[in-house]
Structure 1
């Protein structure tokens, strides 16, 4: 049986670092790519380190060679100027997808965000939560870029037959830190389970689904994720006693909905 090679962009970012040890498998090579330096391989890791920007077409063409699946976590993860968001998140994703298409990469997982639908009101979809494929209502230029990434994924599926799954990630950290995150937290272990489901499902086609854990205070639906075999084993509620009290925001995007548009911020 041949090795499976998975390219992960943004491997030096928060989610990328959390996923690196969790996605190691016998018979799988992780090709880890980031513009920032990455830790070298340790004993037992089958990894290839690539230092490059997703905006570099030649570098992305090389990175996509002999790749069986692509997990795209790279890009600017917060609000920034329109020029930076356009260059890195939108144009960079297009550059990467074009390289993947040319290299014949059959399966792509794109990291979208809750901020693609940040101006959806909490509870507007009823007791089952907001569906994974609900129409975009971005809260920032960053949110716009995630909606654009989803649209690019749809285009590359429809035009070229590429299997594309877009994950609207809630909040993927070791633990939730505020009341909003108690609703949209995605545990690192569940994130790895979801990515494994994306890599293993037989016919992903084009899908948009939520990347969250099975939280007691859930405000979004896991139906679409469960359809491809995802089973969450975590719940943010076990951290609730340690989360400082605060008001649950009106909109899914929380503080992003009030952040200055186009200004870099630490949210």
Structure 2
């Protein structure tokens, strides 16, 4: 019996910041790691297979997901953008990916959802995954669609998904908000590995944050995934406050879960 739960893993968005952080870890978790982006990539690990593909093409997604057991989907529009860009990358693209997975009998998808699905909640409210969506942007709206799509494909086609609501995944916290929302790169890697190893996820939503002292979320409905974060944004508080001073509680940066996404105007107006 193979030591790997999934023989063949696909990583989309491999040229992006988070995809780059995951390549080595995923290459050690399967026999063949297919890495894909719409931009060109160079092979980094012996068991990598490089495929250039665009989410907006259904044909390319069907071809990309052939002979794949599990998808780690970090591709798509990663920040707020125009409606056309968000639509093509995160809505049409998400549908195309799931159709490819359905047609090719992929077993599980683990993908980067976002805090911005619930960005309008006040920071005073600790959220669990059953809180109703309150998207704060075009981008956040597209991630709500992605979560609904994942639920639909589980209910109708039994394609498992973990929707990972990533808050702020960076090398270290850079402002007051991120002291609460930080997900370290090491914790990102351990979270994705936990999502791969868990026996049964159906469609699960888990918040992607580190073990921060300042807590905005409750992962009580995702304990079956067995994610145990280690890093703590509090270790950077002195550094942040030395740089920025203190922040007023009414500052849009720290007023809501979504920060400036919630207070910004409509992107397409600009």
Structure 1 length as normaliser, TM-score?
A: 0.92
- Of residues 129-138 and 185-194 in structure 1, the stretch that sits farther from structure 2 once superposed is 129-138
The separation in 2 between residues aligned to 1:117 and 1:245, in whole angstroms, is 28
Aligned length: 259
> Structure 1 residues 78, 182: CA separation in 2 closer, same or farther (over 3 Å shift)?
same
Q: Give, in angstroms, the shift of residue 120 of structure 1.
A: 0.7
1:70–1:246 CA distance, 2 compared to 1 (3 A): farther
1:28 to partner: Cα distance = 3.2
Structure 2 distance, partners of 1:23, 1:238, is 28
Aligned counterpart for 1:15 among listed residues 18, 21, 42: 18
Is the 2:129–2:219 Cα contact (8 Å) retained in structure 1? yes
Deviation per CA, 1:196-239, whole angstroms, max 9, x where unpaired? 11111111011111011110112111323433111111111112
CA contact (8 A) 2:198 2:224 kept: no
* Whole-angstrom distance in 2 between the partners of 1:264 and 1:197: 41
TM-superposed CA distance for 1:258, in Å, is: 1.8
Q: 1:241 aligns with which of 238, 243, 248?
A: 238
In structure 1, runs of 5+ residues without a counterpart are: none
1:79 aligned partner: 80
Unaligned runs of 5+ in 2: none
- Secondary structure of the residue aligned to 2:100 is helix
1:93 maps to what in 2?
94
Q: Counterparts of 1:26 and 1:77 in 2: how far apart (Å)?
A: 25
The answer to whether the Cα contact below 8 Å between 2:70 and 2:107 also exists between their aligned partners in 1 is yes
User: Which position in structure 2 is the counterpart of 1:205?
Assistant: 202
Between 1 and 2, higher relative CO (CA 8 Å, sep ≥ 6) is seen in: 1
Q: What secondary structure sits across from 2:142 in the alignment?
A: helix
Q: How big is the shift at 1:21?
A: 2.0
Name the structure with the higher helix share. Answer: 2
* Superposed counterparts of 1:22-171, under 5 Å: 22-25=25-28, 27-42=30-45, 45-124=46-125, 129-171=126-168
Contact 2:204 2:222 in 1 (8 A): no
